[in-house]
Amino acid sequence: MSLQEFWDYLVLGVMLGSLYAVIAIGYTLVYGVLQLLNFAHSEVFMLGAYGSLIVLQFVSPADNPSALASIGYVALAMAGSALFGGVTAYGLEKVAYRPLRRRGAPRLIFLITAIGASFFLYNLAGKLFGRDPMTLPEMYDNHNVLTIFGAGVNVTQLLQFATAVVMMICLDLLVNRTKLGKGIRAVAQDAEVASLMGVDIDRVISRTFVIGGVMGGVAGFLFANLNQASYTMGFIPGITAFAAAVVGGIGNIRGAMAGGILIGIVETMTVPLLGDQWRSVSAMVVLILVLMFRPMGILGERVGRAA
């Protein structure tokens, strides 16, 4: 691998990693407040992609759109994906998790419900929208816009990276600076005490799901924009992002960001070294290695101090 190739793949890896980071945050946020793996988060991601697809079908972008129109299309698609992701996550919490939480069900039951919900959602999406992969319509002229260390970055990649970074900054501010953020941190630290202090736990949990869902949905749009949308698209990025969340330290939002970038780089570097077919294996290998040698993750678990 030449030096130039190394830079090329590194840049690619960071871009991909930013996407994983955004999905990983969805896992970590929910883990923070519920100590629960939200297996169905990958389906939130998938439905986000379909949300943008549906909006774009309505709008049907013109050929060779002007710069302003391109921005409009992208914004609309993003709004569609955010809406779908948020609504799916909200519905999941309401229908599948809240009854169990009320009853104080064991965590095993939560996990199985999450798997069932994930199974239901992706097969329903396959049924409703057809089972072949679909490409998003072209919203802008995809050309190289800048060069980093000799590696070209095109509009799609820049959009992906910029959106991910903006979302992560917004989330960081939200969790650390707002009242809702304070509520999320309080529930993550000790739900019972938080409720005694007047935090409406149900509302905080529900909103946490929605925040994670919106981010996951937009990530779904970005992913579909890069590759394709299909009803099974959530599974692999979902596991990978989960691995990223654990690698960074579950419950730790900045950890999820770091883990996402790391996993993205490792995965992309696997391609020139071992071949494309081993990509998703590398993430699992990293996960198992991290669990063996540093089970609390790189930045450490900080459930409760979600920052």
Partner 1 sequence: MSVVESSKDTGKGTGENIASAASRLRRTAWYQQPRFTRLWAMVALGVLLALVTGEQGTTRDIFFSVKGSLTGLNLWICLAVTIGIWALREFAAEPIKSSVAAVKSTVSGPAGTVQDRLRADARLRWGLIVGGLVLALWLPSTLARTWQTVLVDQIAIFALLAIGLNVVIGWAGLLDLGFFAFFAVGAYSTAYWTGRLPVEPPVVLNNFWVIPIAVVTCLITGVLLGAPTLRLRGDYLAIVTLGFHEIIYLVAKNADGLTGGPQGARLIPDFSFSFGGIEYEWSIDPLPYWYLLVFFIVLVIVLFSRLEHSRVGRAWTAIREDEIAAAANGVDTVKFKLMAFAIGASTSGVAGVIFTSKYGYINPEVFPLLQSILILAYVIFGGMGSIPGVLMGAALLVWLPEALKDYVDPADRYMYLGALLVIMMIYRPQGIWPSRRRQRELTMAGEGVGDADAMSEPAGGKA
Please state the closest distance from residue 229 (CB atom) to partner 1, in A: 10
Please state the closest distance from residue 39 (CB atom) to partner 1, in A: 8
Please state the closest distance from residue 201 (CB atom) to partner 1, in A: 16
Q: How deeply is 3 buried, as exposed, middle or buried, from its count of CB atoms within 10 A (0-12, 13-18, 19+)?
A: exposed
58 or 143, CB closer to partner 1?
58
151 or 247, CB closer to partner 1?
247
Please state the closest distance from residue 66 (CB atom) to partner 1, in A: 26
Helix ranges restricted to H, the chain: 3-34, 41-59, 67-92, 98-103, 107-129, 155-177, 179-189, 191-196, 201-226, 235-248, 253-274, 279-293
10 or 112, CB closer to partner 1?
112
Please state the closest distance from residue 13 (CB atom) to partner 1, in A: 19
SS3 assignment, position 145: strand
CB 100 within 8 A of CB 125: no
Please state, in angstroms and rounded to a whole number, the distance separating the CA atoms of residues 260 and 276: 19
Q: Which two tokens stand for residue 243?
A: 């691995």
> Which residues here bind partner 1, judged by CB under 8 A?
36-37, 39, 50, 53-54, 57, 95-96, 99-100, 103-109, 111-113, 115-121, 123-124, 126-134, 235-236, 239, 242-243, 246, 275, 277-278, 280-281, 283-285, 287-288, 291-292, 295-296
Please state, in angstroms and rounded to a whole number, the distance separating the CA atoms of residues 119 and 114: 9
Please state the closest distance from residue 199 (CB atom) to partner 1, in A: 18
112 or 165, CB closer to partner 1?
112
Please state the closest distance from residue 178 (CB atom) to partner 1, in A: 18
Residue 158, C-beta contacts closer than 8 angstroms, at least 6 positions apart:
145, 146
118 or 208, CB closer to partner 1?
118
107 or 203, CB closer to partner 1?
107
Please state the closest distance from residue 169 (CB atom) to partner 1, in A: 28
127 or 203, CB closer to partner 1?
127
157 or 282, CB closer to partner 1?
282
Residues 210-232: b if buried by 16+ CB within 10 A, e if exposed:
bbbbbbbbbbbbbbbbeeebbbe
Using left for φ > 0, alpha for ψ between -120 and 50, and beta otherwise, residue 138 falls in beta
User: Could you please report the per-residue DSSP string of 150-185?
Assistant: TEEEEHHHHHHHHHHHHHHHHHHHHHHHSHHHHHHH
